[in-house]
Amino acid sequence: MRIYICVALFIIMWFLGGCSAPVKDVHIPDDTYIITGKIKLTNSKLVKSELYDQYSEWKGTRYRMGGLNKNGVDCSGFVYITFKYKFGITLPRSTEHMARLGINVTKGEWRAGDLVFFKTGISDKHVGVYIDNGQFLHASSSQGIIISKLNNQYWQSTYWKAKRI
């Protein structure tokens, strides 16, 4: 079913944008995501490897609200970039819209590549990507790109939900 949606979106984008319009210039609605199939998220070992590679490439990058590059990136931007370039999956840009995708995953049943969400304020949300052994990769507002432990008191108290794409 997903392949048919991807093909239909491609055809629509091609007709609307003309032959020379790059796909990146086409607006994708926030409640839509596209899978190009670079890596299947069911291959846990490969997903973990890609996530650790992403961490190595981005470690030290500072947090910047709205950022999407190594000069600064926010949490949803980092997840967006990670999924797009490591897994061939284009997610929505906002944490709120990412949280609407996929299937719910019970706490403790996480696997590499699952999105983990937190409510960090009255209306503030945070997202990261589960790696393994209770750890997740994310853009921390105080430390930039880091790997944190889900059993940390702060993350335990703000944990909201996990989703599998």
138 among known catalytic residues: yes
Here the contacts of 6-9 (C-beta below 8 Å, separation 24 or greater) are 6/34, 6/35, 6/36, 9/34
Task: Fill in the amino acid letter for 150.
Answer: L
27 among known catalytic residues: no
Beta bridge partners of 129: 115, 137
Cα distances from 107 to residues 33, 60, 131, 134, 142, in angstroms, run: 24, 29, 14, 10, 25
CA distance linking residue 64 with residue 78, whole number of Å:
10
Q: Are strands 103-105 and 89-90 parallel, antiparallel or unpaired?
A: unpaired
Catalytic position from the list 19, 27, 75, 97: 75
Tokens coding 119: 């409510």
List, by residue number, the catalytic residues.
Answer: 75, 126, 138
